[in-house]
Structure 1
Amino acid sequence: MDRERHIASLDGLRGIAAAGVIVAHVNLMFPSALSMPIRDIGSNAVGLFFALSGFLMAYIYGNRPLSPKSCADFLVTRFARIYPVYIAAVLAIALLSLFQDLNYFQPINGIGQVLRHMALMGSSGVFWSVPPEIQFYLLFPLIWLFLSNPIRYRNIAIAIATFLAVDGLLGFPGSGIMLPSKLPFFLFGVVAGRMHRRIDRQEPNIIIGMLALLLPLFLLVRQGVAPQTASSLWDMATAFAAALSVFLVALEHPISVVAFGAAPLRFAGRISFSLYLFHAPALFLVEKALGGTTPSDLVIAVGLATAFGLACVSYYVIEVPARRFLVSRWKRHREDAKWLGKLDAAQAPAIFSSRRTRM
């Protein structure tokens, strides 16, 4: 079986996206400190995260055999990757919100809000982006089924494409925490991931390298550069540009590797989820402690250092150990679920297979 190789430049792209979200919150807390075109840079960065997720799911799992056991492994692994550190961040923000004198700017107040966020129905601060991610993971086994046998399960692709078309015509309905409003980013990412597995390796082309450098950066700052012509934050064009950015960076041209493959940026990408979850409270607390008596540039510098330090602690103390613990526990006990070994991927619902296709 053709195993996927690790694409280091995508770690760097993830680091760039995390930096975009941080810049957006720095601008929110210190509006006079930055003079660069950063309007909506945070939302554009999250769009990159969504496209990256779709790309990686297709790239990593698209060529692997699908079975009930591999599907269960996938869901447990993705849950273990996100949910424990997400819950830790929710509880940290809820605790911070208890101190009314602090007046935290993105609070989670009351047991009802805490439970809502634990149930992946909350939208305070950066937490709004986690429910669509989890919802995509629940959808992906259906996409994986299609990828395992595109001829037999072509009706899956037709159904999803039709839903996407209607979704687009209706303007991507639903709140920000519902998958339909962000589905194009994930699906274009999936297409990009499959394309990457199928392309032939060619001689490096300088145009590819330059586009890989420039398109992601333009995507992040486009509202600030050309607000009068920029399209909607969550439309098809933005989703396509996000997925194309991921695809170009994944080609790892020597020009783009210099930037996206740099070790500091790759490390930021590795801890990006913890950084994404904890940077806002870190910046806020530093501003509360030093603001008013310290120059804003120094406050920002200390806040960023604190955010990276907290993200490192979260990654090495919560994120990685929790993932390893849950996955190892699952592997030890999954054999007890004997039905996983008895079922076969071919037992998928017949509604998605063509009657004219040989079984």
Structure 2
Amino acid sequence: MALPTDSRPKLAWIQALRGIAVLLVVLTHARYAFLDTPGWKLADELLRPGAMGVDLFFVISGFIMVYTTRNTIGSPYEAADFLVRRCARIWPLYALATCAWLTVNHQGFGWLTHWPQFRALLLSLSFQPVDPDNPLYFSLSLPLGWTLNFEMYFYLLFGLCLLLRRWRWLALVGWIAITVLLLPAYKRDLTLDVLTNFRFSFAYLNLVTNPIILEFLAGVAIGWLYLQDWFRLRSRGVARHLVLLALCGTVWYGWSGLGTFHGPTQWGAAAALMVLALALAGKTIELAPPPVLVWLGTISFSLYLTHTTLQLLVTRGVQSIGGDVHGWSHVLLSTALAVSVAAMVHHYLEQRLSNMMAQVLRRAIAPLRGPAVPVADAVPLTRA
């Protein structure tokens, strides 16, 4: 597999896409400021399509998994370290954000002594469906956490496939074909509707058979193509036009009403085509997005996990002083505060917690690396 000559440790345009995706999701949830008001219809039409940011995240995740493992040979240590990095990046902040949401939402710590809520928390933090009969969301303690259930499942699957080395792609495609296409077809009818409840008795099967997983696979395919030398355009002008068409086409699709929900045949398809076009163009021209979008991409995980809690706190605070919480000014205020708090969370919590957990887990997997290389020589955790 040949590397592109213009490869970089980090891709600015991917980080910028993350920033766009998380901002769209934040604004999608901010529209609830207009609920039960005359402005709801307009706010819903303008902001609800921003939920496609989740589908964009899934496609990006697949791409990044391929890109960051492009030099691995598939040793047990490399596969284990891949999983360590992903778990350390996600779990600590997710656990903290979930407890914060429960405390704020219930205005206290009563949920700690309420067994159904505590059980839901345990299932949520182990990335299992709380209510298997409620796809796509599965009734997790932190409503936003449904996306991480799919993320962690795909990370685990991808990490295991790394062990198969040159057969990794065949194994990955084969497993997804069996679980996402064949099993649902055997259980009922083949469908790509992400809200379909297949009612498997084994709860986790209701997650691994969901067709939204095809969005990760699309990202993997785009990542594989990006690493091929032949995958490029010769004309810089064509590349520039492709970028314009990709961005405008995605906006048109999302806000035209053609795409109305998550899934590989709706918002996911538009997200995948856009990432594919940008990946192709980025092999010919330098994609230099605005630094603010790259920065938003850097703090995107913190912003994603904390923004609904901040929105609720801001709404309560404004109400307590008699302010208006049903207008665009409130959307602006809550979004600005959510971004500011997320930046602090990223700096003071996300990075530090991730590094601490990574160090602990790397000690556990050190024997897989061999006795010649001490744990201290492990590469520091970086956010991929």
Q: What amino acid maps onto 2:30 in structure 1?
A: V
The two structures have a TM-score, normalised by structure 1, of: 0.79
Q: How many residues align?
A: 327
Equivalent of 1:160, from 176, 179, 182?
A: 176
1:73 aligns with 2:81: yes
CA contact (8 A) 2:16 2:293 kept: yes
Q: Residue 298 of structure 2: which of 253, 270, 282 is its match?
A: 270
Q: Give ranges in structure 1 of 5+ residues lacking alignment.
A: 101-107, 343-359
* TM-score, normalised with respect to structure 2: 0.74
DSSP-derived class of the 2:209 partner: helix
For 1:72 and 1:15, locate their aligned partners in 2 and report how far apart those are by CA, in whole Å: 28
How far apart are residue 340 of structure 1 and its match?
5.6
Matches within 5 A, 1:185-204: 185-200=215-230, 201-204=232-235
Is the Cα contact below 8 Å between 1:50 and 1:133 reproduced in 2? yes
| Segment drifting more, 229-238 vs 72-81 | 229-238
Q: Match of 1:24? A: 28
The alpha carbon displacement at 1:303 in A equals 1.2
| Residue 47 (structure 1) shift | 0.5
- 1:17 Cα deviation from its structure 2 partner: 0.5
- Measured on the aligned residues, the alpha-carbon RMSD in Å equals 3.3
Once the two structures are overlaid, the 10-residue window that deviates more, 20-29 or 282-291, is 282-291
- Aligned residues: percent identity? 26
**Counterpart-to-counterpart distance in 1, 2:343 and 2:45:** 29
Counterparts of 1:135-284 in structure 2, within 5 Å, are: 135-145=153-163, 148-150=165-167, 154=170, 157-166=173-182, 167=184, 169-171=190-192, 173-174=196-197, 178-181=207-210, 182-200=212-230, 201-216=232-247, 218-219=249-250, 222-226=253-257, 229-230=258-259, 233-236=262-265, 238-250=267-279, 251-252=281-282, 257-258=287-288, 261-284=289-312
Residue 334 of structure 1 aligns with which residue?
365
Query: Does the residue aligned with 2:27 lie in a helix, a strand or coil?
Result: helix
Amino acid at match of 1:309: S
Corresponding position: 1:114 with 2:121: yes
- Specify every segment of 5 or more residues in structure 2 that has no aligned partner in the other structure, as ranges: 109-114, 131-139, 199-203, 372-384
Aligned amino acid, residue 225 of structure 1: S
**Alpha-carbon spacing, 1:135–1:333, altered in 2? closer, same or farther (3 Å):** closer
| Alpha-carbon distance in 2 for matches of 1:205, 1:231 | 34
Do the aligned residues in 1 keep the contact of 2:30 with 2:334 (CA within 8 Å)? no
The one-character-per-residue Cα deviations of 1:69-104 (angstroms, maximum 9, x if unpaired) are 11110111100011111011001011112328xxxx
Query: Can you list the C-alpha shifts for 1:161-199, whole angstroms capped at 9, x where unaligned?
Result: 354443582335558982432211000110000000004
Q: 1:262 to 1:239 in 2, by over 3 A?
A: same
**Given the superposition, is the C-alpha separation of residues 332 and 45 from structure 1 closer, same or farther in structure 2, using an over 3 Å criterion?**
same
- Residue 10 of structure 1: which of 6, 14, 20 is its match? 14
Q: Match of 2:148, as an amino acid?
A: V
Partners of 1:44 and 1:219 within 8 A in 2: no
